[in-house]
Amino acid sequence: MTSSFSAELISCRNVSVVHGTGPAQVSALLDIDLAVRPGERLALHGASGSGKTTLLHVLGGLLVPTRGVVSWQGEPLSTLDAAGRGRARAAGIAFVFQSSNLLPTFTAFENVAFAAAARSRTDDLDRRAIGPEELLGLVGLDGKLDALPAELSGGEAQRVALARALAQRPQLLLCDEPTGHLDSDTGIRVLDLIDALQAEFGFAQVTATHDADVVARYPRDLALRDGRVLAAEVSA
């Protein structure tokens, strides 16, 4: 293992998550250790209920683990309050979900512009901003700037969601079954696009999936079962 602490973009140490209380308690993650380096591509693999979404939410600071520590760029993320986690997220962590979750009354352009505006509030001024139009061009939707989400196909909506994620200029892109609602050809095109954008922008990518064909695209794979890491990791 070559990763010195400073080479880690994000890490989990002994992370466990218990959802709910009392008899309804579910142990969703147990003693997860994971480090992701800048620019790395990792698949989170596991059946439904294995803890993939919970782990992505922990990595993204949406959920505080019951035990253990999450560090973002060497700083503890899981001990920050909600506002602090929100700032850390805004400064470099973006999500793409199974559903595109676009704002239904906003156009494609406005959905991306909204995220770009949120980003620029937290920004250092000397970094080059890519405008919503250019971002939508990067995902092949130049002709759909004024379309509402309901006027887009599933694949197009997911590409808008990707443009919106890029508007945050992420260093870490967390994808939760990003092709789960797409037919397989469209899904492959979306995954190809994510990889092309990653090659251009260099963000790290953690993608949750239960699809072995998707896992096979990634140089590294963390398999979960019942909240535990199942398989030895395969490194590229």
Ligand X SMILES: Nc1ncnc2c1ncn2[C@@H]1O[C@H](COP(=O)(O)OP(=O)(O)O)[C@@H](O)[C@H]1O
* DSSP codes, 60-100: TTSS--SEEEEEETTEESTTS-HHHHHHHHHTTEEEE-SS-
Which H or E element spans position 233?
Answer: none
The reply on whether position 89 binds ligand X by CB under 6 A is: no
User: How far apart, in Å, do the first and last CA atoms of the chain sit?
Assistant: 12
Exactly one of 8, 10, 30, 54 binds ligand X (CB under 6 A); which one?
54
- Give min distance, CB of 210 to Mg ion, in A: 8
- Give min distance, CB of 50 to ligand X, in A: 4
The reply on whether position 48 binds ligand X by CB under 6 A is: yes
- Give min distance, CB of 56 to Mg ion, in A: 8
Taking contact as CB under 6 A, which single stretch among the options 49-57, 74-82, 128-136, 137-145 is the one that binds ligand X? 49-57
Smaller CB separation from Mg ion, 28 or 70: 28
DSSP percent split of the chain into helix, strand, coil, nearest 5: 35, 25, 40
Taking contact as CB under 6 A, which single stretch among the options 33-41, 44-52, 121-129, 130-138 is the one that binds ligand X? 44-52
The reply on whether position 207 binds Mg ion by CB under 5 A is: no
Contact (CB, 8 A) for 57 and 97: no
Exactly one of 11, 50, 53, 78 binds Mg ion (CB under 5 A); which one?
53
The reply on whether position 180 binds ligand X by CB under 6 A is: no
**Angle in degrees, 0-180, between the axes of helices 108-121 and 82-90, rounded to the nearest 10:** 110
Exactly one of 3, 20, 120, 192 binds ligand X (CB under 6 A); which one?
20
Smaller CB separation from ligand X, 2 or 48: 48
Backbone angles phi, psi at 119, to 5 degrees: -65, -45
Residue 20 CB burial class (10 angstroms; 0-12, 13-18, ≥19): exposed
Residues contacting ligand X: total by CB under 6 A: 12
20 interacts with, out of Mg ion, ligand X, none, CB within 5 to 8 A per kind = ligand X
The reply on whether position 61 binds ligand X by CB under 6 A is: no
Tokens representing 196 are 């092309």
Tokens representing 187 are 């899904």
Tokens representing 164 are 């919106």
Tokens representing 166 are 């890029």
Q: Are strands 26-36 and 41-45 parallel, antiparallel or unpaired?
A: unpaired
Residue nearest to Mg ion (CB): 53
Q: Give the residues lining the site for ligand X (CB under 6 A).
A: 19-20, 26, 28, 46, 48-54
Q: Give the residues lining the site for Mg ion (CB under 5 A).
A: 52-53
